[in-house]
A and B are shown apart, each in its own frame.
Chain A
Amino acid sequence: MRGGWFKVYALVYLVFLYAPIILLPMFAFNDATVIAFPLSGFSTKWFAALVDDPLLRDAVRNSLIIAVTTAILSTTLAVFAARASTRYRFPGKAGLMGLIMLPLVLPEIIVAVSLLSILLMAGIELSILTVILGHVLICTPFCIAILSSAFQSLDRSLEEAAYDLGETPFSTFRLIILPLVMPGIISSLLISFTISLDEFIIAFFLAGTQATLPVYILSQFRFPQAVPAIMALGTILVCLSILLLGIAEFFRRRGLARSGAKDTGGFL
């Protein structure tokens, strides 16, 4: 029976994918410093340790500032780019869009190193701002991809109809276009927030002394006694990521349902 082997394959695949993630909460609530079986007992002390760590608090604050700013900036830029690429025709459009989308496939380490050398040459001090710069660069293509499909599915006659009924181009945008692409904007914000929050390479190169959460996590792995606390932190982050992606998908589907369109498969 061929279907049987496919089921086994699918099961092994899922175990491979999710077993490590399931280990996170196991050891996060384990009462031992060593990450090994058998588990010794239930404890929430690692979560308590997190709260008391001032370095972690700084890292979380930095990461949140960077992620929120990146999400807003890259989504705003992407709204303009997506609108321009779906609605207008201009010379060199294909090449230009290709260049904007390129960071999507460019190795991040290349982006990070070249940004670092330019910033150093320009004499700009490394800080949260430089990380935001790098993150906007890599998040914008994702946002454009999401928003382009939102703008693409807009019937151009809708704008013309609103204009025909007496609205101005601006009020047409506000009353018709914005509400209809809002689900796309929300998922774009959430996706770029998530990407920025767990991005490591650019943050590592460009952060200077202001470490972000992933950079902090890596630095803590040098100390074996800190590892269970990192497991606890990882548990929180996994839950947060699932929540955010869930919200993004919810808004995407609701947007489709509201406009009565067919679901052609999203990013989830």
Chain B
Amino acid sequence: MTAKPTMIEFRDVQKYYGDYHALRGINASIRAGEFFSLLGPSGCGKTTLLRTIAGFEDISAGAVLIDGKDAALIPANKRPTNMVFQSYAIFPHLTVEENVGFGLRRARLDKAEMGRRVGDALAMVGLTGFGKRAAHALSGGQRQRVALARALILKPKVLLLDEPLSALDKKMREQMQVELIKLQRQVGITFVLVTHDQEEALVMSDRIAVMFEGRIVQLDDPVTLYRRPKTRQVADFIGTMNFLPATLLSDTTDGCEVEVAGLGRCRIAPDQAPPGGNGQDTTVGFRPETLTILFDGQAAAARETPGTVEEVVYYGDMTYYDVKLDGVASAVRLSMRNVPGRPVLDIGTRARVAWSPDALVLFR
């Protein structure tokens, strides 16, 4: 990734609500033109952090810099940021046109110019011809688009999106995810998205900050975040991960030697064994898709453990199995793609499970 200039910088941002410590020292930079997500469970402070950028929330200590300027000196209505609200906040007494053009009121444009810019904004979100509609007569997806057009018409440096897709049904949400990515590429504006949906964050973002209890726990691109979560908490929050206890035997610059309960001794590459802790008792984690069931006639794998199928969950494109590996205390979850000719196993079937040390992540 090329080094782009910084658009937003958080410097040790603290926020208290009375005794409640909502933001506990946020340090992060958001680059110009990137699609950045704040991901975390509800109550982790992600929306509060977004609102400090918009100016709706004062911070208790630290600094927020927008395009190099201290945001504390700029009131919310003068900041080069615009927001898409979770409830969309479409003005119900105005038409679509009046909603979209609301931000241009202050610019005192003549009627033709105003109409042209509102028309462009509506076209950008695929709502050409909807200008005269009453705002309250729109569907959820259309409201979402009006909110986007209204926020983008002022050409902000940063677009803030507060759980913008949470009110839509699954199909609509997936469609809007793709549209938002395209829109962001088209306008080139920095997007900051708040979401509790890890899949949404993975699909849409250039980089993701995972937040727990007022702190950013990990900030990485989606691939790194998924493959090499830094803590068990992050691993658990993003996708599914199996955890097995392991004993740390040696820890050198070119990797860690561990004894995994039931699986045996193996080596983990340094970038999959983030530093920290100093005990011997550790945990290794691995994703369901890194395990494979070997069917009759398939060649033996380098690492293979037999086990018994305990649970089968059929998803159409995928089948999830809970398999109790011999010598391992708890069942592990694995997923198999349902390619033609591959059987779906029954509960109780004995199976050979292949795994690879390359897929293990060490948590200490």
Known: A155-B87, A157-B89. 13 other contacts (CB 8 A): A157-B87, A160-B89, A162-B102, A164-B83, A165-B82, A165-B154, A166-B103, A166-B105, A179-B93, A258-B93, A258-B136, A260-B136, A260-B137
Does A176 interact with chain B (Cβ within 8 Å)?
yes
With A160-B56, A160-B83, A260-B137: A165-B103 Cβ-Cβ less than 8 Å:
yes
Q: List 8 A-B contacts (CB under 8 A).
A: A161-B83, A161-B85, A164-B83, A165-B82, A165-B154, A166-B103, A166-B154, A180-B93
Are A157 and B85 also in contact (CB < 8 A) when A164-B54, A164-B76 are?
yes
Whether a CB of chain A sits under 8 angstroms from the CB of B115 is no
A167 within 8 A of B: yes
Query: Chain A 185-217, CB within 8 Å of chain B: the 1/0 string?
Result: 000000000000000000000000000000000
Closest 9 CB pairs of A and B: A260-B136, A157-B89, A165-B103, A161-B89, A259-B92, A157-B85, A166-B106, A163-B77, A158-B89
Q: With A160-B56, A160-B83 given, is the CB distance from A165 to B102 under 8 Å?
A: yes
B77 in contact with A167 (CB, 8 Å): yes
Q: Which among A157, A166, A258, A260 is the interface contact of B77 at CB below 8 angstroms? A: A166
Asked whether, in the complex, the Cβ of A260 is within 8 Å of the Cβ of B92, the reply is yes
Q: Does A40 contact B (CB under 8 A)?
A: no
* Chain A residues, Cβ within 8 Å of B82: 164-165
Q: Give a binary string over B237-262; 1 marks a CB under 8 Å from any A CB, 0 the rest.
A: 00000000000000000000000000
User: A-side binding surface: helix, strand, loop or mixed?
Assistant: helix
**Contact: A168 with B92, CB < 8 Å?**
no
B residues with a Cβ closer than 8 A to A are: 54, 56, 76-78, 81-83, 85-89, 91-93, 102-103, 105-106, 136-137, 150-151, 154
Distance in angstroms from A104 CB to nearest chain B CB is: 30
In the assembled complex, the Cα of A163 lies from the Cα of B55 at a distance in Å of 10
Q: How far is the CB of B107 from chain A (nearest CB, A)?
A: 9
A259 with B77: CB separation less than 8 A: no
Interface of A toward B, CB cutoff 8 Å: 155, 157-158, 160-168, 176, 179-180, 258-260
Task: A160 to B136: give the CA distance in the assembly, Å.
Answer: 19
Q: How far is the CB of B192 from chain A (nearest CB, A)?
A: 14
Smallest distance from the beta carbon of B189 to chain A beta carbons, Å? Answer: 15
- For B150, the chain A residues whose CB sits under 8 A away are 161, 165
Contact A176 B103 (CB under 8 A): no
Taking the closest CB of chain A, its distance from the CB of B195, in whole angstroms, is 17
A165 to chain B: which residues have CB within 8 Å? 77, 82, 102-103, 150-151, 154
Least CB distance from A170 to B in Å reads 11
Residues on the B chain within 8 Å of A155, using CB: 87, 89
A179: B residues at CB distance < 8 A = 93
Complex CA gap A179/B87 in Å reads: 19
